[in-house]
Amino acid sequence: MSNRSSGSKLGAISGLVIVVAFFLPWVKACNRELTGYDIATNSTGQVEDAWIYWLTLLTGAFCLLLLLLVRTDSVRARTSAAVARLVAGLVGFLPLLNIWYNVEQRGGAMEILYGGWVTVSGYAGIALSFFVDLFGPSDKNKTDVSEL
Q: What is the pLDDT of residue 90?
A: 94
Check: CB of residue 88 under 8 Å from CB of residue 14: no
- Is 113 part of a structural domain of the chain? yes
Task: Give the pLDDT score at 143.
Answer: 45
Residue 59's CATH number: 1.20.140
Chain-centre distance for alpha carbon 15 = 5
Q: How far apart are CA 94 and CA 106, in angstroms?
A: 19
Q: Mean pLDDT per segment of 10 residues, for the chain of length 148 residues?
A: 83 96 91 90 79 93 91 85 93 90 80 92 95 75 47
Quick check: 11 and 61 in contact, CB under 8 A?
A: no
pLDDT number for residue 145: 45
State the Cα–Cα distance between residues 128 and 111, nearest whole angstrom.
Answer: 26
Q: Which domain holds residue 15?
A: 6-138
Angle at 81 between CA 80 and CA 82, to 5 degrees: 90
Number of domains the chain is built from: 1
CA-to-CA distance for 140 and 118, rounded, in angstroms? 32
pLDDT value at residue 148: 47
> CB atoms < 10 A from the CB of 34, how many?
22
In a domain, 148, yes or no: no
Q: How far apart are CA 72 and CA 8, in angstroms?
A: 8
The answer to whether residue 143 sits within a structural domain is no
Q: What is the pLDDT of residue 83?
A: 93
φ, ψ of residue 5 to 5 degrees: the values are -75, 165
Is 145 domain-assigned? Answer: no
**From CA 47, how far away is CA 68, in angstroms rounded?**
34
